[in-house]
Amino acid sequence: MSASGKLQTANCKRRMGTAFFLVMLIVLLAGCATPIRNSQFAIRNFDTGIDPEAWAQIPAGTFHFGQHDEMVTIAAPYEMMVTDVTNAQYARYLNAALAGGAVKVDGDSVVGYYPGDVFHGHKHEVEITAGDWLHVPLTDPSLRLMFDGTIFGVKPGYESHPMTVVTWFGAKAYCEFSGGRLPSEAEWERAARGDDERPFPWGDEIALNNANFYASRDPFEAAAGKQGDTTPAGFYNGKTYDGYRTLDSASPYGLYDMAGNVWQWVSDLTEGIHDRPLKGGSKGVYGYNLRIWTRNAARPDYTSPSVGFRCAR
Amino acid sequence: MKALTDRFNYLFRSTKGLILVAIALIAIVTAAFGMLSGPLKEWGISDVAIRLYGMKLVEAEREARIILLYHTIAMSVVAIETYLITALVRMKPQQQANINATITVGYITSLVFGLAFGYFGRNFVFHGLFITGQALVFFAGLQLAVALWPWRKAYHVADPAYAHTRGGVDLERVAFFTMAVVMLISAIFGAVPGSLYGQGHETFLAEEIVRVPFKAPLQLAVIGHLHIMLELIAVALTLIVGRWFDFKGKLHKWAMPLMIVGTLIVAGGVWAVVPFEPIAHMIINIGSFPTLIASALLVWFGWRKIAAARLAERGIEKAGFGRWLGALLHDPVKFGMLWQMVYMNAVVTAVGIFMAIRLDEAIRTWSLRDEQVGLTGHWHILSGIIATIILLLYADMAGLKGRARQWFGWVVIIASDVAFAAVTLFETKRLYVSEAGQQPLVDISMIISDAGLATVLVAVAALMVWRLIDLFRRNGRWAKEAKETNLEDGGAEAGR
């Protein structure tokens, strides 16, 4: 082999060595990632002391709506649930609604009738026709409900956690079956914010123990990974649970979990696209998404382990 | 005193010095402000950084802060491109000096006071200075457009190897001129809505309104502005790299008209988004095609040139594919500039086309939040790729040699490309995993992307330290670079 050939071989080996080193470095760093989530970890059942059946009075009035503080007036007082609807509440509702014929089980899904949205034929518009629409997909592994073919129940430990994996149709149906309705976005923001310009229901800044959000290091996150799990309704009320101290994070009207834990469906319809807004942020997003004006959205048949709801009346 | 004056003159009056300052400032801002988000926020480092910097962050102002931050970085990138253009494209020395001086004062004013306003309390004098800086950058752009005017006889091409009209007008110069004029108009396209929304402090990020079905004309203008500015920064960089490689011959003659036409069509499509939104996307797609073809022709020309130069250096007249490839990869710095353009198609163009084609069936079944993650990842990657090309170009200009050149080149290419691939996986994760099962993918992709980007930053830091040490030498590289007025080799310039 010529001298230049030997030099080339040596250079080639050196380059391969370098590439190997870099690949190994990346693999090593990747190995530092959180291990795969174990969905079978023991669910810790904490009593928050907050009654999920309670309702809070919200007065009529003018308030700061949205990030840019648009002044909006709500003409009549209303009530909103103090917490999100829990799994136990939703299971009870399903049993009653199924018995009464308000919903039915169709294959692997709970479905119910919806009269449809007006269709405008816009670009990207999805037609929501009259008919049966998905309420709850029963085979979704994230669902905390159980169904034995006749009766709905709740997976042990999740009774007081918010109901998730529920579509907008399923949320609306629950509220109406219970004599209420989904709140409008404006009603939801007023209930979360009160009369001032605060970005979070409890005030101006967010601490890790104010709410359940991504990488907020709550006890459920320690077991389930950074995206965490739902926390029981009303968890962040100033109590200490097994050494984990929470801050009292109620809204000015005494509502809990108006930031974090699960996104909440509201009633508004985005004309021309049929998305429904989702408010409040969730366990799976960074803290800034928990600001009161943040608006997520999804089609009404969307489900997620990070989406729940509460009702107004 | 003279030592300080000499160094000041190098850093603020020579092309390479000006580029060095801009890269250093961007690197510092990226490193310092990068601590405020992502995993560093999860690890609590952002809280420490905020306290350490003495920042005053108001939750409601987050969007405005981000807009200030990326405008300051974008201004710095535009300044780097301007320095390169004034050095690579023929113009009067006085024009070069005026343009460089104006844009330097402009982008530094914009950067310092924009960040001060956004992150350290709302002092509206600072906001005014931020706007003043941007206005100066715009004014420098106007001067650049004048200096690039291609129809002056003195700038006609003498060497027929370069693309030209029958009358001898240099088509590459026309492409630079077109890009500059279109960029100025597109800047106004953003400045008008920016003035309205900024004046009322009603700032928003474009991804927030992506699903608003009936957007206001100025909302559409904001979306158009950010897309076209990034596109034009990429077009400018492609032209700069072409000039750096002394792009010429048959491929050049094909590429330049395509680049001019493509730039005009894309810009027309973006501007048309306000009155004709339904067809604007189609116009943009049509215009993107010729610019992509022009870039591909440059890549092919450049790779052949790199390989041929290496083979000639080693006295090899005929080479098979293996040897040709070895010769091409011999210089990662030169190869990398063009490779990143190719790689961009995998992690930006292909993903963008997929998202556009499958928008209703795939993307719109996600939550808005998931779609926003996809969009932000998308343009972060494009910005990142542009940055790596600039870094490789600078390393080449700075005369990085030997093992340092190999290390720098390959580290930037491999680390950034692995990071961009990880971000692509992250931004499109909903296609492969459900929300409940995404955590392992999220953790791994975030760690890989951050490790990759951190590695690139370390490489950049090493380059900066090397240049910093050089500045302390009496007759370092800086002293030689300070005397250079033109980046191009004499032979190439003589033909134009």
Per-residue pLDDT at B494: 41
For residue A66, the chain B residue with the least C-alpha distance is B60
Classify residue A96: in a domain, yes or no.
yes
What angle, 0 to 180 degrees and rounded to 10, lies between the N-to-C axes of helices B2-13 and B93-119? 90
For residue A285, the one-letter residue type is V
Classify residue A66: in a domain, yes or no.
yes
Classify residue A302: in a domain, yes or no.
yes
Classify residue A30: in a domain, yes or no.
no
The verdict on a CB contact (< 8 Å) between A295 and B208 is: yes
The verdict on a CB contact (< 8 Å) between B435 and A225 is: no
- Name the nearest CA neighbour of B487 among B243, B274, B306: B243
Return d(Cα A162, Cα A233) in angstroms, integer. 6
Taking the CA of residue B171 and the nearest CA in chain A, the distance in Å comes to 40
Per-residue pLDDT at B59: 85
Classify residue A73: in a domain, yes or no.
yes
Q: Name the residue among A18, A37, A297 with its Cβ closest to that of B367.
A: A297
Cβ neighbours, 10 Å, residue A6 = 10
Taking the CA of residue B366 and the nearest CA in chain A, the distance in Å comes to 7
| ipTM of the complex, rounded to two decimals | 0.87
The verdict on a CB contact (< 8 Å) between B368 and A275 is: yes
Return d(Cα B57, Cα B46) in angstroms, integer. 12
How would you write the pLDDT of chain A (313 residues) with one tens digit per residue? Answer: 444 445 455 555 555 555 555 554 544 444 444 433 334 445 677 899 999 999 999 999 999 999 889 999 999 999 999 999 999 999 999 999 999 999 999 999 999 999 999 998 888 888 999 999 999 999 999 999 999 999 999 999 999 999 999 999 999 999 999 999 999 999 999 999 999 999 999 999 999 999 999 989 888 887 777 667 899 999 999 999 989 999 999 999 999 999 999 999 999 988 888 899 999 999 999 999 999 999 999 999 999 999 999 999 9
Contacts of A209 (CB under 8 A, 6+ apart): A216, A218, A236, A244, A245, A246, A247
pTM of the model: 0.89
Return d(Cα A188, Cα A136) in angstroms, integer. 23
Ranges of beta strands (E only) in A141-243 are: 145-147, 152-154, 240-241
Per-residue pLDDT at A30: 44
Return d(Cα B60, Cα B51) in angstroms, integer. 19
The verdict on a CB contact (< 8 Å) between B213 and A125 is: yes
Q: How far is residue B71 from each of residues A160, B36, B40, B62, B116, measured CA to CA in Å?
A: 47, 17, 22, 14, 13
Task: Domain of residue A237: give its range.
Answer: 55-308
For residue A22, the chain B residues in CB contact (below 8 A) are 410-411, 414-415
Radius of gyration for chain B, computed over Cα atoms and rounded to the nearest angstrom: 23
Contacts of B242 (CB under 8 A, 6+ apart): B172, B252, B255, B298
Contacts of B219 (CB under 8 A, 6+ apart): B193, B204, B209, B212
For residue A147, the one-letter residue type is F
What angle, 0 to 180 degrees and rounded to 10, lies between the N-to-C axes of helices B439-471 and A3-30? 130
Which DSSP category does A127 fall into? P
Q: 3-class SS at A312? A: strand
pLDDT in tens, B295-315: 999 999 999 999 999 999 999
For residue A307, the chain B residues in CB contact (below 8 A) are 367
> pLDDT tier at B186 (50, 70, 90 boundaries)?
very high
Per-residue pLDDT at B414: 97
Per-residue pLDDT at A22: 52
Dihedral over alpha carbons B343, B344, B348, B354 (to 10 degrees): -50
Is the pLDDT at B434 greater than 90, yes or no?
Answer: no
pLDDT in tens, B2-15: 889 999 999 999 99
Per-residue pLDDT at A18: 55
For residue B63, the chain A residues in CB contact (below 8 A) are 67
Q: Which residue ranges make up each domain of chain B?
A: 176-204+216-330, 334-486
- Per DSSP, the residues of B58-125 read -GGGHHHHHHHHHHHHHHHHHHHHHHHHHHHS---HHHHHHHHHHHHHHHHHHHHHHHHHHHB---HH
For residue A123, the chain B residues in CB contact (below 8 A) are 278
Return d(Cα A218, Cα A273) in angstroms, integer. 36
Taking the CA of residue A129 and the nearest CA in chain B, the distance in Å comes to 17
CA of residue B421 relative to chain centroid, distance: 19
The verdict on a CB contact (< 8 Å) between A304 and B435 is: yes
Interface test with A, best of B273, B405, B443 (most A CBs within 10 A): B443
Return d(Cα A64, Cα B328) in angstroms, integer. 62
Angle in degrees, CA A248, A253, A259, rounded to 5 = 55
- Name the nearest CA neighbour of B444 among A38, A29, A22: A29
Q: How far is residue B432 from each of residues A226, B362, B425, B426, B436, measured CA to CA in Å?
A: 19, 11, 9, 10, 12
Q: 3-class SS at B344? A: helix
Is the pLDDT at B58 greater than 90, yes or no?
Answer: no
pLDDT in tens, B145-176: 999 999 999 999 989 999 999 999 999 999 99
Query: How would you classify residue A2: left for phi > 0, otherwise alpha for psi between -120 and 50, otherwise beta?
Result: beta
> Backbone phi, then psi, for B199, in 5-degree steps?
-60, -40
For residue A36, the chain B residues in CB contact (below 8 A) are 439-440
pLDDT in tens, B132-147: 999 999 999 999 999 9
Return d(Cα A25, Cα A28) in angstroms, integer. 5
The residues pairing with A153 across neighbouring beta strands, listed in sequence order, are A146
CA of residue B116 relative to chain centroid, distance: 23
Q: How far is residue A14 from each of residues A7, A18, A21, B312, measured CA to CA in Å?
A: 10, 6, 10, 23
Classify residue A95: in a domain, yes or no.
yes
Classify residue A206: in a domain, yes or no.
yes
The verdict on a CB contact (< 8 Å) between B368 and A298 is: yes
For residue A30, the chain B residues in CB contact (below 8 A) are 444, 447-448
The verdict on a CB contact (< 8 Å) between B451 and A25 is: yes
Lowest mean pLDDT segment, chosen from A64-78, B355-369, B458-472: B355-369
More confident residue, B41 or A185: A185
Token pair, residue B46, equals 């952002």
Helix or strand holding residue A296 (H, E): strand A295-298
Return d(Cα B314, Cα A162) in angstroms, integer. 71
Q: Are B285 and B242 in contact (CB under 8 A)?
A: no
Cβ neighbours, 10 Å, residue B457 = 15
Mean pLDDT confidence for B457-480? 92
The verdict on a CB contact (< 8 Å) between B60 and A32 is: no
- Name the nearest CA neighbour of A256 among A228, A233, A290, A238: A233
For residue B208, the chain A residues in CB contact (below 8 A) are 295
Q: Are B113 and B133 in contact (CB under 8 A)?
A: yes
Q: Considering its fold, how many domains does chain A have in total?
A: 1
Is the pLDDT at B384 greater than 50, yes or no?
Answer: yes
Cβ neighbours, 10 Å, residue B115 = 21
- Return the CATH number at A62: 3.90.1580.10
Classify residue A135: in a domain, yes or no.
yes
For residue A310, the one-letter residue type is R
Q: Name the residue among B212, B435, B443 with its Cβ closest to that of A34.
A: B443
Return d(Cα B247, Cα A30) in angstroms, integer. 41
For residue B415, the chain A residues in CB contact (below 8 A) are 22
The number of C-beta contacts closer than 8 angstroms across A and B is 122
For residue A124, the one-letter residue type is H
Q: Name the residue among B414, B436, B440 with its Cβ closest to that of A141.
A: B436
More confident residue, B486 or B355: B355
Q: How far is residue B234 from each of residues A9, B263, B387, measured CA to CA in Å?
A: 37, 11, 10
Per-residue pLDDT at A35: 37
Interface test with A, best of B203, B368, B406, B408 (most A CBs within 10 A): B368
> pLDDT tier at B412 (50, 70, 90 boundaries)?
very high
For residue A274, the one-letter residue type is H
Return d(Cα B490, Cα B75) in angstroms, integer. 30
For residue B213, the chain A residues in CB contact (below 8 A) are 122, 124-125, 270-273
> Backbone phi, then psi, for A140, in 5-degree steps?
-65, 120
